[in-house]
Structure 1
Amino acid sequence: MKKIKFPTAQTILLIIAALTAILTWVFPSGKFDSLTYNKANNHFVRTSLEDSEILLANQETLNSLEIKIPLEKFTNGDIWKPISIPNTYKKVEASPQGVINFIKSPIKGIIEASDIIFLVLFIGGLIGIMNYTGAFDAGISWLALSLKGKEYILIILVTTIIAIGGTTFGLAEETIAFYPILIPIFLAAKYDAMVALACIYLGSAIGTMCSTVNPFSAIIASDASGINWTTGITGRLVMWGLGLIICIIYILRYAIRVKKDPTKSVIYSQKDEIESLFKNNINTVGKMTIQLKIILLVFALCFIVMVYGVSLEGWWFEEMIAVFFVGAILIGIIGRINEFKFVEIFVKGAGDLLGVALIIGIARGVSVLMDDGQISDTMLYYASNATIDMNKGVFINAMLFIYGGLSFFIPSSSGMAVLTMPIMSPLADGIGIGRELIVNAYQYGMGLFYFINPTGLILASLAIVKVGYDKWLRFVMPLVIILTLVTMVVLTISVYL
């Protein structure tokens, strides 16, 4: 009997999209009224089912709407998206998503996710140019020899650096660029590709889960809750440290086991296939010429400039794409690649990551179905009502799991914050706990589910490494259970301090 294979990432997402479409026939449609700040005219716009209303942009307006957020959070640009107005939920005419909507959802998702898709394609082009110059082969061979006998340092270093990026500026989508670069290094260190995947993805996941100064989650959620973003930062720092240590120990235990006995790898059956993709000439020490050193320096500077721009200059996808494009051109010039060859290699490199780009678009299509079916606010409404009259410990852990569940349908951290915080954070007042704990529960709940969330980045990441989702679940689920239990203990203690 032929062995049944686990579905591809694309198929998994299409199944999820189909189930989401079915949900729009089951759940009632509903909407909260929303409030948007118009900076150009310095006024609020309240949008309801019936019409739109212009309101004065002052604190009295916010108080009258039971939005306990300081006015300056809107006027200084901290909150730029429409926020939900508490106690305004109304059922609307059902908008079930049929077969045509389901078919169109991946296409709409690809259009909506075009920014990150172009980032992935341009990174693919840059990687193609780098591979052609031979700089990767020489650099990886040199690094493999330098770390001989101390390969564990690589695991600690990569996981920690990426976790710092996650907690400070939300390093997530950008990590797509790291897989083709770091996987050959880990293979040269006699680990499997799962170790490289874990260091990058788990580092990003624990960093964003315990965001401290990340403007896309901790700061915007605190602003939408009406509190200073520094409130609760100590608890998030403690959780970040605990989570990072647990992740590093978990990866190290697996890596040591695989290094001693490669058959212990969860992807051992794919060993030859993966190594043929990434381990090009890894056992041959390429000569590190001046030209190759300059190329590697330019390549490294692309990431340094990207991190600087995103974290300090407010850059986003357009600027990041431009950095990688300019980097590819400079490397082409330094490597003396002629114009026709450069275009050919760049396009081929981009094509190699086209499958990853499509996965990102299809995942966004799930959110499109939710929005078009108008059931996101309904889920939020029932979730907020479910926590009424709970004691502190039960309440905060219920919020953890509610946010984990909601993140399946709303994977965007900033989108989740502005949609839910005006509704959820006032619940803390009635329970008798600080609103910063709602912010923490939001981050931890989204973060824990991010480890396995198929509508997040994991399927795109797995597609680069050529690893199945089932094998990732087999590898990561024990860690997710451990982190969930630790998080529940930390949250429970925090509400009684």
Structure 2
Amino acid sequence: MAASATTREAGVAPPVEKKKRKFKLNFPTAFTILFAITILAVIATWFVPAGSYAKLAYIADTGTLQVTSPQGTATELPATQESLDETGVNIDIAQFTSGALTKPISVPGTYERLEQQPKGIGDITVSMVSGTIEAADIMVFILVLGGLIGIVNKSGAFESGLLALTKKTKGREFLLVFLVSVLMVLGGTTCGLEEEAVAFYPILVPIFLALGYDSIVCVGAIFLAGSMGTTFSTINPFSVVIASNAAGTVFTEGLEWRVVGCIAGAIVVIGYLYWYCKKLKANPEFSYTYSDRKKFSELYSTGAEGPSPEQGKFTWRKKTILVLFVAAFPIMVWGVVSQGWWFPQMAASFLAITIIIMFLSGVVEKDAVDAFIKGASSLVGVSLIIGLARGINLVMEQGMISDTLLDWSSNAVSGMTGPLFILMLLIIFFFLGFVVPSSSGLAVLSMPILAPLADTVGIPRFIIVCAYQWGQYAMLFLAPTGLVLATLTMLDMKYTHWLKFVLPMVVFVLVFGGAMLVAQVLIYG
């Protein structure tokens, strides 16, 4: 103190304490990431050689097989097993005639280098628009979902239901996370819940927040658990079934290995969520998304003040609205699994329930329409993300570099034997998952080319199918070209936060999946 007084008396200003500046790196948004990847894909079309395999498809109208050469010349063949054998496609003809294989498949040994098809600067934005148009079905579904959420929010049913639920689950909060995770794992392994999973966030996120959890838990219990189930698909028709058909085997082969993998994956992901939730409850600042907690709570209307006593009344009208809202989701799953529904039908069913809730809510017509529009507009960003991701795939397809990458992959593992072969294939599928994020798309593109390599190594083809599943989906946990960015945009979560949380699960899938693949090779090889 004396020194300070002396300094002031001498007319000398006291030393100014310097504040340390922290360098803060702002990670780009999902739109910027996809824009950058689109540019890289366009650049790749200049340097990666163009090429293509011949494609084979079944034409139901004429009952014939059509083979399209790399140059685009189409040849029709009788739809017989002999025709398939002559082309080198070792697949049962019934897989085509029954409708199990609807997309054109690659014909082994037909890859040819073609004239380069480089994309230009103008193709960057054209591909973004074209991808959005191609994804119109899922985008309409998401917008209708947003409108449904807007109407239910306007009715006050969400607030009243959450208040009643938090009272009943006091002290047993993780039970709901456990149940949701189990259901998502089962949905993933049986019917491949992926794009459809976005429908569950609006109903579950406010509940998880009311129970004291954060956005990481929301994505973990829905997206991560569902993806873990899809990774170890047992009877998923969009993954293991179509891949087995394209590989010339049946999906029941290797089923026991996938069941064991699915059980192990479910235990690991639920255990991981339990560890995270326990840490979060002990110290809320442990949250990987702690810095964004206020903004996230405001996004889903879970302010600390809670609903007023009048709003909190759980009337019969609100209960009926919530029952209808929740019923929309099992109806959707039933339609997809048993009725062959896709996004237009799912959107129509959600729209029908929305109209019923509009009449039941008692909200005046103008307010109801405004609520629908506001809800739909809140998910415009999510729907656009999906369209932009599709645009990246269009660039690679039109630049004719996807088949080249596949040809390089098959050449890379050709001649290898035993465990090294299958581990290299796992890594190849991991990177191909970034290039072709569609499970069915990668299956029909790669299985006819890579599955026959199993014959040269002396192992069953179902092991190649397992490598495809576990490799591709390890990538889809974090690939910007998949559904990750759409999910994170919906919850306004930073990609870096998600990356920190999900990387241990990616490592688990690759290590555990690799160990099971080596075991399969040693047993059956």
**In structure 1, distance between residues paired with 2:349 and 2:424:** 43
Are 2:139 and 1:117 equivalent residues in the alignment? yes
8 A contact 2:154–2:368 mirrored in 1: no
Code of the residue aligned with 2:51 in structure 1: it is G
Deviation at 1:80, TM superposition (A): 0.8
Match of 1:7 in 2: 28
Code of the residue aligned with 1:214 in structure 2: it is N
Match of 1:78 in 2: 100
Query: Which 4+ stretches in 1 moved above 6 angstroms?
Result: none
Match of 1:46 in 2: 67
**In structure 1, distance between residues paired with 2:455 and 2:158:** 55
Match of 1:379 in 2: 405
Deviation at 1:479, TM superposition (A): 2.4
Match of 2:9 in 1: none
Are 2:489 and 1:463 equivalent residues in the alignment? yes
Match of 2:185 in 1: 163
Code of the residue aligned with 2:339 in structure 1: it is E
More displaced stretch, 88-97 vs 46-55? 46-55
1:279–1:261 distance in 2 versus 1, CA, 3 Å? farther
8 A contact 2:209–2:302 mirrored in 1: no
8 A contact 1:188–1:279 mirrored in 2: no
The one-character-per-residue Cα deviations of 1:100-131 (angstroms, maximum 9, x if unpaired) are: 11121110110111111111111110110110
**In structure 2, distance between residues paired with 1:416 and 1:483:** 19
The one-character-per-residue Cα deviations of 1:341-373 (angstroms, maximum 9, x if unpaired) are: 222111111100001111111111110100110
Q: Pick one of 481, 491, 511 that aligns with 1:485.
A: 511
Deviation at 1:447, TM superposition (A): 1.0
Are 2:207 and 1:185 equivalent residues in the alignment? yes
**In structure 2, distance between residues paired with 1:461 and 1:140:** 23
Match of 1:201 in 2: 223
**In structure 1, distance between residues paired with 2:364 and 2:232:** 46
How many residue pairs end up in the alignment?
497
Match of 2:365 in 1: 339
The one-character-per-residue Cα deviations of 1:115-166 (angstroms, maximum 9, x if unpaired) are: 1111111111011011001111111222212111011111111111011111
8 A contact 2:199–2:329 mirrored in 1: no
**In structure 1, distance between residues paired with 2:301 and 2:275:** 23
**In structure 1, distance between residues paired with 2:273 and 2:322:** 28
Deviation at 1:338, TM superposition (A): 3.0
**In structure 2, distance between residues paired with 1:67 and 1:439:** 16
**In structure 1, distance between residues paired with 2:172 and 2:48:** 55
Match of 1:145 in 2: 167
Are 2:37 and 1:16 equivalent residues in the alignment? yes
8 A contact 1:210–1:444 mirrored in 2: yes
More displaced stretch, 22-31 vs 224-233? 224-233
8 A contact 1:180–1:464 mirrored in 2: no
Q: Pick one of 103, 117, 121 that aligns with 1:95.
A: 117
Two-structure CA RMSD over aligned residues (Å): 1.2
Match of 1:127 in 2: 149
Output the TM-score relative to the length of structure 2. 0.93
**In structure 1, distance between residues paired with 2:363 and 2:241:** 45
Q: Pick one of 443, 451, 459 that aligns with 1:433.
A: 459
**In structure 2, distance between residues paired with 1:296 and 1:303:** 12
More displaced stretch, 129-138 vs 276-285? 276-285
Match of 2:501 in 1: 475
Deviation at 1:408, TM superposition (A): 0.8
Q: Secondary structure at the match of 2:407?
A: helix
Based on CA coordinates, which of the two structures has the bigger radius of gyration? 2
Output the TM-score relative to the length of structure 1. 0.98
Deviation at 1:272, TM superposition (A): 1.3
Q: Pick one of 25, 31, 44 that aligns with 2:46.
A: 25
Match of 1:221 in 2: 243
Unaligned runs of 5+ in 1: none
**In structure 2, distance between residues paired with 1:119 and 1:46:** 35
Match of 2:58 in 1: 37
8 A contact 1:137–1:281 mirrored in 2: no
Match of 2:5 in 1: none
Match of 1:396 in 2: 422
Are 2:317 and 1:295 equivalent residues in the alignment? no
Deviation at 1:215, TM superposition (A): 0.9
Query: Among the aligned pairs, what percent are the same residue?
Result: 42
Match of 1:312 in 2: 338
Code of the residue aligned with 2:136 in structure 1: it is S
